[in-house]
Chain A
């Protein structure tokens, strides 16, 4: 049963209407873990149900929790005028906020086979891929190679450079979102290459995980983003 995946945000800004005490930075939002659009076991055998459950309920949840904590602390630091404290919090915000952003995209980048996972992109994205990478196989090969070569933890991305109007393959370290590599980059497909994304199933063999994950990549979502950005 597909559950619509929405990053629900409870916002205190809504309280502004009822309370005049809320001013300035107090419009802080708390974030919540988005639901997975499919069952934990739905991506098998490419990604095991065990991995999906831990990845979603533990890793992504922890990023959300710590992100909210960091934002709360930021709010206090800003109102108390503690610039040192504000600056010191940026690392926690970048890491945990980035983790939340990246994983929210990741769940949408994946789909069960019976819901189109692995089906090649059609339309304008399909053509753009052929233009820039020769073929879908060419793109897959490049992304798999770059993903395998990430030193430590990170992500491999297919992105659209809105400014240069071209597709790019790039990697980011840790939980850096794609936008840290360029302000005009829009993520189309992101693949988590942190060890927690594959270790329980593939152990140290990251290339094997990268080979198999393509069977559940949701090209429909990537195409929607691409078409939206191009118009």
Chain B
């Protein structure tokens, strides 16, 4: 009798093992949240005259929304491909996930690093970020000059960033192509300020004059956000 029960238990155990190998999906993937378009923290015309209402509306409701939609679509396809064990498809989807997911990540940051003038847009950063900027770039003007030069010389579409390198404990200015997030330039990089230099970010207002857009955008840069992120990470770095 014991032997029969033992065999039955073994059979049930084996059956479960078989099921686990063939059909069980990581529950994390199943319950994966879909991305959604974050609300803008201000009215579409609140950044004028630096950035026109027309641009803000298109940029948020069309471009960012499209990244969100396509990202969710790609994640869905990824889910199916993984369930099917279709590794070719999984790999093939990475480009869409990187591009659209990156577009979502980058723009979600972008709306936060902009602010209307009456809500502090353009106001220089407080310490400790302010001192760090002076230490690394000589002055805020020095940093702005560097970011403008690098942003203007991005070939094609991309972003220019002020980042914190958590490993080297220093500020960096970096550019990324297309919708690559800053982290693709170094996993220890934390974005503090990111400026979109895709043509859609400025064209209806500035046409081909990207340098003019870069000159004006600083009047609506939300240094408070950057300073808060920097302070938080600086605290974390100090306590580690």
A binds B: yes
Using CB atoms and an 8 Å cutoff, list the residues of chain A in contact with chain B.
54, 58-59, 62, 91, 95, 151-154, 173-175, 194-196, 199-200, 203-204
Output the nearest chain A residue to B158 by Cβ-Cβ distance.
A152
Complex contact B179–A154 (CB within 8 A):
no
Complex contact A203–B208 (CB within 8 A):
no
User: What string of 1s and 0s marks CB contacts (under 8 Å) between B51-62 and chain A?
Assistant: 000000010001
| Distance in Å: Cβ of A131 to nearest Cβ of chain B | 28
Complex contact B99–A174 (CB within 8 A):
no
List chain A residues, Cβ under 8 A from B177: 152
Complex contact A58–B200 (CB within 8 A):
no
In the bound assembly, the distance between CA atoms of A222 and B158 in angstroms comes to: 32
Output the nearest chain A residue to B201 by Cβ-Cβ distance.
A195
Q: Which of B62, B66, B95, B199 has the largest count of A CB atoms less than 10 A from its CB? A: B199
Output the nearest chain B residue to A154 by Cβ-Cβ distance.
B156
Complex contact B204–A152 (CB within 8 A):
no
Q: Which of A151, A174, A194, A203 has the largest count of B CB atoms less than 10 A from its CB? A: A151
Using CB atoms and an 8 Å cutoff, list the residues of chain B in contact with chain A.
58, 62-63, 66, 95, 99, 155-158, 177-179, 198-200, 203-204, 207-208
List chain B residues, Cβ under 8 A from A174: 155-156
Complex contact B198–A195 (CB within 8 A):
yes
| Distance in Å: Cβ of A171 to nearest Cβ of chain B | 13
Complex contact A91–B155 (CB within 8 A):
yes
List chain B residues, Cβ under 8 A from A62: 208
Q: Which of B63, B95, B204 contacts A151 (CB 8 A)?
A: B95
| Distance in Å: Cβ of B215 to nearest Cβ of chain A | 17
Q: Pull 7 A–B residue pairs with CB atoms less than 8 Å apart, ordered by A.
A: A62-B208, A152-B158, A175-B156, A199-B204, A203-B58, A204-B62, A204-B63
Q: Which of A91, A152, A153, A199 contacts B203 (CB 8 A)?
A: A199
Output the nearest chain A residue to B199 by Cβ-Cβ distance.
A195
Complex contact B155–A95 (CB within 8 A):
yes
Q: List 4 A-B pairs, minimum CB-CB distance, nearest first.
A: A174-B156, A195-B199, A152-B178, A153-B156
